[in-house]
Amino acid sequence: MQKKKHIAILGSTGSIGTQALQVIKANPHFFECEVLVANSNADLLIQQAIEYKPNAVVIANESKYQHVKQALASYDIKVYAGAQAVEQIVEMQSIDLVLTCMVGFAGLPSTIQAIKHKKNIALANKETLVVAGELITKLAQEHGVNIYPVDSEHSAIFQCLVGEFHNPIEKIILTASGGPFRGKTKNELQYITKHQALKHPNWTMGAKITIDSATLMNKGLEVIEAKWLFGVKPQQIEVVVHPQSIIHSLVQFTDGSIKAQLGLPDMKLPIHYAFSYPNRVALPFERFDFAKYPLFSFEKPDTETFSNLAHAYTALNQGGVMPCVLNAANEIAVEAFLHEKISFLEISEVVAHTMSKAKNVLNPSLEDYFGYDAEARKWAQERL
């Protein structure tokens, strides 16, 4: 029988974190919740702690510490607070696997710390590899740490490559739903509201990633992530729009053969695979029915209208700190759009402006990444 894995969830109150807890609940013989980390949603963190009884919880927002501590006083659960505690908690010896699903650049320091303490990573925070892919992959190799992708597209590629690691890849094909505005022109997108942009046709996700999906930036970030996860060149990564979101991605090998991974658009499936790898453990959720999806369709993405995907390829080709700059600018722009300070189309304009201001640094250090992240955010704010 598979040894029970003790899992730390960094970002437990977000969309991925809450679904990860459902996966743990469905398989209590295989998985146990060891640590829960949240940013500021103290009430949900308290509920989760009472239900799943982790060894420890961390609330990053220190002003919520007393509230969480008092609520959990009668339980045998350690309570910590602050950014430093988020980094330090991953050092616990009892942790087997760290699920990193904190949103954005904020997830980078704790991921680095977890790798340094030889914890395998289930990676749902794509920004970690977008911002510092070179550094993270080197660290993982140095410390003998495995990185299991949780994004549905990268999980699909990973599953297609099982048993094929000795065979060269010709091309990776990332599928995209096209988001809620597939087929629309720039004129039609001028007056898009945040409420329209937050209605994804297939996936239930957090606000940031849903907006990224609508602008196709999410796919751009996934292109950059794929380069580091699978060791391929930018020209070996293709994006194809597949509105049904059933084929999660494909791998083409040098003999022309293509492998695809299929499933319902449900994040619990890739989360579960990352938790259980190399085994497949039964999961009692809905199954795919071919009769309900008689047609699959595919089309090229419109990178002129949705220019964020083109910006991501530019950043990847330039390398160095440019993906970091791209990510920082996008985080600022999406936040501004969600607060109705800029229009939908201005998101990609802010990204392009910020990238044009940056002088690239190749082979960057961790300090370079932090420095350019801060600078890019300033340039993006100025553009607002």
> Could you read off the pLDDT of 231-278 as tens digits, one per residue?
999 999 999 999 999 999 999 999 999 999 999 999 999 999 999 999
Q: What is the pLDDT, as a whole number, of residue 202?
A: 81
Per domain, the residue ranges of the chain are: 5-149, 154-266+297-318
Please list the residues that pair with 260 across neighbouring strands: 250
Percentage of the chain exceeding pLDDT 90: 91
Q: What is the pLDDT, as a whole number, of residue 230?
A: 96
> CB neighbours of 29 closer than 8 A, spacing ≥ 6?
1, 4
* pTM tops 0.95, yes or no: no
Q: Count of residues for the chain?
A: 384
Distance CA 239, CA 229 (A): 16
Any idea which fold 5-149 has? Rossmann fold (3.40.50)
Percentage of the chain exceeding pLDDT 70: 99
Cβ atoms of 46 and 71 within 8 Å: the answer is yes
Query: Rounded to an integer, what is the distance from CA 5 to the centroid of its chain?
Result: 21
Please list the residues that pair with 6 across neighbouring strands: 32
Q: Where are the alpha helices (DSSP H) in the chain?
A: 15-26, 42-52, 65-71, 83-89, 108-116, 127-142, 152-161, 186-189, 194-197, 207-215, 217-230, 268-276, 308-318, 322-338, 346-357, 366-383
pLDDT of residue 1 exceeding 70: no
> CB neighbours of 311 closer than 8 A, spacing ≥ 6?
217, 220, 326, 348, 351, 352, 355
- For tokens 């990204």, name the residue: 351
> CB neighbours of 325 closer than 8 A, spacing ≥ 6?
315, 354, 355, 358, 372, 373, 375, 376
Q: What is the identity of the amino acid at 201?
A: P
pLDDT of residue 283 exceeding 90: no
Q: What is the pLDDT, as a whole number, of residue 104?
A: 74
pLDDT of residue 169 exceeding 90: yes
Helices (H) and strands (E) in the chain, counts: 16, 11
C-alpha dihedral over 19, 290, 249, 28, to 10 degrees?
30
β-bridge pairing 78-81 and 97-100: unpaired
Query: Rounded to an integer, what is the distance from CA 57 to the centroid of its chain?
Result: 22
- For tokens 């040098």, name the residue: 254
Query: Rounded to an integer, what is the distance from CA 294 to the centroid of its chain?
Result: 30
Span 98-106, mean pLDDT?
86
Task: Give the end-to-end CA distance of the chain in Å, rounded to a whole number.
Answer: 56
Distance CA 311, CA 330 (A): 11
Report residue 185: phi and psi, to 5°.
Answer: -90, 170
C-alpha dihedral over 335, 87, 15, 76, to 10 degrees?
-140
Q: What is the identity of the amino acid at 150?
A: V
